[in-house]
Amino acid sequence: MKMFDRALKAVGLRRVKASIYKGAEYGRLLMDWVLSACTIDQEIRTDLYRLRGHARDLAKNNPFIRQYLTLLPVNVIGANGMTMQAQVRNNNGELNKAINDKVEAGWAEWSKSVTPCGKMSRIQFEHLVIKTVATDGEAFVRKLIGFPNRHGFALQLIDSDMIDHEFNRPRERGKNEIRLGVETDEWRRPVAFWFYDRPMNDVNGTASDRIRIPAEEIIHLYDPERTNQTRGTTWFNSVMVPIKMLAGYSEAELVAARTGASNMGWLEYGEGSDFEAPDPKTPIKMEAKPGSVQMLPPGLTFKEWSPSHPNTAYPIFVKDVKRDIATGLRVSYNSLFNDLEGVN
């Protein structure tokens, strides 16, 4: 018990009487329970960079997350994106069909190219935005009013790397507070966003200056989890460890199965054998061919090696972990993993 008290003291805690709430108990089996005593912004500031990097790695390399990011825009945004229906009415309250048709025609024409670079349609833009929010935890869309195109308006998706979460400033006389790169007023309402002039690790150099963009021009999309949260975090956080562990376990089973398929066994000297190898430094090998019968040298016996991989518990275990992953992503297990077993 003294060792337990010393361990608690090392992390700034002490042993107390049994808690009334079971979830507040703290004992030997719960010492790895992380106690969150910081604000949500401080937690994000500490882990945002690694979280975002891990999420982007999964989005590129993990088949489960890639499938999720395929399903997300299809089921949330849809094939036609967010459509618009004009509702201009006459003085008598009836819809003005002629004006509404012109507005909708203009919307359809603008939807063909909505970004400043002219490379992305509205549907492509909306699909990219929802995937960015899921992966990075947030997306920054800048409204370019008066942009020099036919419609005088464009949308720019700004990489979340370009707003420095390490840029913080307390409220001072005549100056607003800056939290994680977001300037806020006394009510924590965003006033402006401080962006780098280019990404930190760009092919043409690193960022050098910050640009202050008024909040009126920025749409900051994220799903807050706690009050007073300034930045968003990836939707993959709760499934990162299970996905990584499952990938490692599957790789180990695959290597073991491949090893077992590649090695049949070995040759060993029998008891009292006087066999001498032609070259002690060169191991004796035998090749296995379909339908062949081979004779072993005198004094040698063949010992078969047949590892049982993957083991019988493998599919059950993998399925349970996949169910946890689907639950963490809040999506149907059958859709995410293309598993229709047991579906009627």
**For the chain, which ranges sit under pLDDT 70?**
1-5, 7-18, 260, 262-300, 302-307, 309
pLDDT value of position 36: 74
pLDDT value of position 99: 95
pLDDT value of position 272: 57
In terms of Cα–Cα distance, which of 224, 238, 223 is closest to 58? 238
pLDDT value of position 20: 75
pLDDT value of position 4: 63
* Rounded alpha-carbon distances, angstroms, from residue 117 to 138, 200, 256, 338: 22, 21, 50, 37
CA–CA separation, 247 vs 20, rounded Å?
40
Tokens of 259: 């090893």
- Bridging pattern class, strands 190-196 and 182-184: antiparallel
Q: Where are the beta strands (DSSP E) in the chain?
A: 138-145, 153-158, 177-179, 182-184, 190-196, 210-214, 218-222, 265-269, 300-304
Side-chain half-sphere exposure of 147, counting CA atoms within 13 A = 19
Q: How many Cβ atoms from other residues are within 10 Å of residue 41's Cβ?
A: 19
pLDDT value of position 35: 73
- Assign residue 266 a region (left: φ > 0; alpha: ψ between -120 and 50; beta: otherwise): beta
pLDDT value of position 163: 92
pLDDT value of position 264: 63
User: Residues, the chain, total?
Assistant: 344
Cis amide linkage into residue 280, ω under 30° from 0: no
